[in-house]
Amino acid sequence: MNPEDLKYTKDHEWVRSLDGRRVAIGITDFAQKQLGDVVYVELPSVDDRREASEPFGSVESVKAVTEVYMPLTGTIAAVNTDLDDSPENVNTDPYGDGWMIEVTLAEGENMTNLLTAHEYDEYIKAESAD
């Protein structure tokens, strides 16, 4: 079950509102299970600006290297540098210590186009049924 207080994308990122204009972003539990053991995480630099749906980094696992996408347009405000030494946090605590970036949202950007936990759960079920 995915945390109810988060929003989700169909690319399997989660978004947590930190305050009115700032959000934290990571990959979902479903995504980390699909990837397997994460061995390296590449993240952007603070103050980099990214557009929604643009890649902001990548996750390397024993199975593959996968890009991670911006759910919303904004500027990177913080990067989880703990993942440099402990990339396995993405596996063990994807919604906590495995967070990847914090973003200051662009003016007018909001989370209305993202999925609720229930919608994301339904999306995973439908995708897994294919």
**Extents of the domains making up the chain:** 7-109
Model confidence band, residue 10 (pLDDT cutoffs 50, 70, 90): very high
pLDDT digit string (tens) for 22-52? 999 999 999 999 999 999 999 999 999 999 9
Rg of the chain taking only CA atoms, in angstroms? 14
* CA–CA–CA angle 32, 114, 49 (5° rounding): 80
How far apart CA 65 and CA 109 sit, in angstroms, is: 29
* CA–CA–CA angle 128, 129, 130 (5° rounding): 90
Model confidence band, residue 127 (pLDDT cutoffs 50, 70, 90): confident
pLDDT digit string (tens) for 63-100? 999 999 999 999 999 999 999 999 999 999 999 999 99
| Model confidence at 21: pLDDT above 90 | yes
| Model confidence at 4: pLDDT above 90 | yes
How far apart CA 54 and CA 14 sit, in angstroms, is: 15
Model confidence band, residue 9 (pLDDT cutoffs 50, 70, 90): very high
Q: Just give the CATH number of 7-109.
A: 2.40.50.100
How far apart CA 102 and CA 76 sit, in angstroms, is: 6
Q: What percent of the chain has pLDDT over 70?
A: 100
| Model confidence at 20: pLDDT above 90 | no
Query: For 110-114, what is the mean pLDDT?
Result: 93
How far apart CA 39 and CA 41 sit, in angstroms, is: 7
